Structure 1
């Protein structure tokens, strides 16, 4: 229901000023003689002191000027609160004419009362900031121009680590495990959302399985396709650069992946590592420790490990690695199972990226609307302040012209008005900044909420 304001009823009483009586001098023309009394000349009557008029203090029954924003909102709207009001308007001039003169000896309280009355004539209608405060309390929410650089560059990054050790030559059906893995990886990468980046690291793809080649093979750990948007020809070229060859530096591949994604801090990016291996560590590394380091790093990745046709003994180590990394483990036996895992990862990515982008867009849109409302409120208040100051200043000037106040009183009242509006303006700025801070805090909280949901659900190896 709209707020109704009743203008203050201004009642003027007639001010009666006492007029001093004229001096009187009593003249004696004749004095009667009395027989038994010696006749003496009577002295003239003493001159009486003129009676001073009694001065009535200046006072108009009007509310004090507001001291805070809540009082500004509740203060009655003035009779001449229109934005089109001018001091030269006939009705305004009549109201100024009705103001009784202020004594030259009027004190500060009387001058303040005069200013309060003039203020009451022009006090504008101020929107209540509680409407915006209520909207900020709803967690459905810096706006497009204030989105941080990190938020603007948020990415979805998938790095695939592929075991290219000699055991990947094993044939399942009509194809080697390496051929099956390459096909599945290519299909998976092509199905990721357009916004996603993908990278491919291989290890053990040099040398042979002999002890003589162990050092060279264990050092073979290469990012053959750097983290970047998917390119069909680029990834095919990268997949064609290697074949299964030597040993299994699994631990080192996890540490290298941590460096590959180092620029994508987990706070602002979504990082997923997908490790496909058919065997355990054979290069004397510690994959459990590497997995723990990966989990604790700033990239905060989701680590998912696919064991490819592993026996139960080797499978346990990869399960332990996945657990240490805070990720998931699944074992596949053939092409269809591997393809299914990749397809599920792609579907999850699409589903949750679409949801996340939609939710985030809605939050920023709402935050933009809130900021616009806050600045509109602030600007409206400041415009009202400027209008009131203008009208009060020219009204005081008019009162001086009408000889209702002296020049000194005009200047003093203007100074009072300036101090009042300086304080008022400062409160408006404080209100605006407080509301913006609340909006930003609400925005950050809302973004974190949807990001947490997103992070909990986007996982290539996540099980239903």
Structure 2
């Protein structure tokens, strides 16, 4: 019995229905006609011929398609006259179709047995759903529009760390408020408008000691995560912002290295990490902020770095621009409360827009994948149910043929085993087809999620140099 399936074939097969289907009733009628002619010929024989030796019997043959040898042929093979889940071998119509089958010679060869088995199969061959529908669905482009998640990806988080310069120069006033007061208000408002799914953290530096040389060591060592990376809490962040005031020196380089450790648990492969550094001055603690920025960029957290200079002169501004470039990030200089607030509002709007888009696209992709998997299993179960039904009808029909004296017991057993092997390979082919389609679905899912994430990463809070 030929194999129904090879792994390579399932990738490339195209299920195409034949232009027409053979009428099973015509086949049954032809078998009836042959049997009637045979009886009439026997009745017309002269009496003298009855005593002579019988001529050699012609080989048994019914004009019927061979049994399918692969899944494509299963789909295109004509549906049987008795292809119904309610069909029973004892049904009158089924028995009539079996009655007209001429007796098989005791010496019938394997070809004749296969032909009889093919005829019985043709009576009950079920209607199989075409897998091409699912194959087409797996190839539907799920590329997301850029206008407008595997288990590890479902655990992805959006993390924002704000680094705030609390050196003595932040005491400078703009209008009626100090730069520190303006920054604190802007940070509180910014954090409150981030997506609900986001975590936020706040690190400050230079908030101890004074700007004197005597306090330099203490002030340069002052680098503290006052609000650890966690979901936003209005009261919690407000309390953290109230713990410090502008005081000493500017250990900018060390703050970047510390931020790398703050976010170390959130690997960039599966998490989105964004750092905002707000400073009104350059490094004053003998660190190398450009080197620290390069280290941050090369780290596993893969952060997006946005540096906001607060009322900087052109000379000091250059260092922060160099730091931003080394980190692969962006730089913007703001002069007052409204500009700082506007920059944070823009960042928040971008984060919300793309986080919403990202979650929506991921959800739609997972929904499609679940739908595709459901369709694959539905198809597989439908095919297997057809196999079980066909096998039952074919094998019990062979038993009925033996009871009617149409075939010998040995012939029944041989065809029974032929049918058993046929349906065993048929079943294995369906199982392999299912697994191949599931693998294709998984590959399509992973590709779609990767593309969604790439677009998201390219667009979430990219910032522009102004």
**If the TM-score is normalised by the length of the shorter chain, which range does it land in?**
0.7 to 0.9
- Residue 111 of structure 1 aligns with which residue? 113
Q: Which runs of 5+ in 1 are unaligned?
A: 24-49, 142-146
Kept after mapping to 1: 8 A contact 2:332/2:464 = no
Alpha-carbon distance in 2 for matches of 1:296, 1:93: 78
Kept after mapping to 2: 8 A contact 1:206/1:216 = yes
Alpha-carbon distance in 1 for matches of 2:283, 2:351: 30
Residue 85 (structure 1) aligned with residue 87 (structure 2):
yes
- 2:319 alignment partner, one of 317, 320, 324: 317
Q: Which runs of 5+ in 2 are unaligned?
A: 1-15, 144-148
Q: CA deviation at 1:225?
A: 0.8
Q: CA deviation at 1:196?
A: 1.4
Kept after mapping to 1: 8 A contact 2:209/2:219 = yes
- Residue 43 of structure 1 aligns with which residue? none
1:127-160 deviations in whole A, cap 9, x for unaligned? Answer: 111111112211128xxxxx53322222221110
- Residue 39 of structure 1 aligns with which residue? none
1:213-228 mapped onto 2 (5 Å cutoff)? 213-228=215-230
- Residue 278 of structure 2 aligns with which residue? 276
- Residue 29 of structure 1 aligns with which residue? none
Name the SS of the counterpart of 2:102 in structure 1: coil
1:395-416 deviations in whole A, cap 9, x for unaligned? Answer: 1111111122222222221211
Residue 389 (structure 1) aligned with residue 391 (structure 2):
yes
Kept after mapping to 1: 8 A contact 2:206/2:248 = yes
Greater helix percent: which structure? 2
Q: Which moved more, 1:7-16 or 1:348-357?
A: 7-16
Q: CA deviation at 1:339?
A: 0.7
Q: CA deviation at 1:121?
A: 0.5
Kept after mapping to 2: 8 A contact 1:20/1:52 = no
Alpha-carbon distance in 2 for matches of 1:414, 1:431: 26
Q: Which moved more, 1:108-117 or 1:70-79?
A: 108-117
Kept after mapping to 1: 8 A contact 2:307/2:320 = yes
Alpha-carbon distance in 2 for matches of 1:201, 1:460: 21
Name the SS of the counterpart of 2:164 in structure 1: strand
Q: CA deviation at 1:461?
A: 2.9
Q: CA deviation at 1:51?
A: 3.9
1:218-367 mapped onto 2 (5 Å cutoff)? 218-367=220-369
- Residue 6 of structure 1 aligns with which residue? 22
Kept after mapping to 1: 8 A contact 2:331/2:465 = no
Alpha-carbon distance in 2 for matches of 1:249, 1:405: 97
- Residue 447 of structure 2 aligns with which residue? 445
Name the SS of the counterpart of 2:83 in structure 1: coil
1:223-255 deviations in whole A, cap 9, x for unaligned? Answer: 111111110110011111112222222122112
Kept after mapping to 2: 8 A contact 1:208/1:246 = yes
Q: CA deviation at 1:260?
A: 1.6
RMSD value, Cα: 2.3
- Residue 27 of structure 1 aligns with which residue? none
Q: Which moved more, 1:288-297 or 1:321-330?
A: 288-297
- The TM-score normalised by the length of structure 1 is 0.88
1:358-383 deviations in whole A, cap 9, x for unaligned? Answer: 22222222222212111111111111
- The TM-score normalised by the length of structure 2 is 0.88
Kept after mapping to 2: 8 A contact 1:139/1:442 = no
Kept after mapping to 2: 8 A contact 1:342/1:460 = no
Check 1:269–1:196 CA distance in 2 against 1; reply closer, same or farther (3 A cut): same
Check 1:381–1:201 CA distance in 2 against 1; reply closer, same or farther (3 A cut): same
Alpha-carbon distance in 1 for matches of 2:23, 2:252: 82
Alpha-carbon distance in 2 for matches of 1:381, 1:156: 45
Q: Aligned pair count? A: 433
Q: CA deviation at 1:344?
A: 0.8
- 1:454 alignment partner, one of 456, 460, 463: 456
Alpha-carbon distance in 2 for matches of 1:344, 1:94: 81
Q: CA deviation at 1:204?
A: 1.7
Kept after mapping to 1: 8 A contact 2:321/2:331 = yes
Alpha-carbon distance in 2 for matches of 1:327, 1:132: 44
Q: CA deviation at 1:69?
A: 0.9
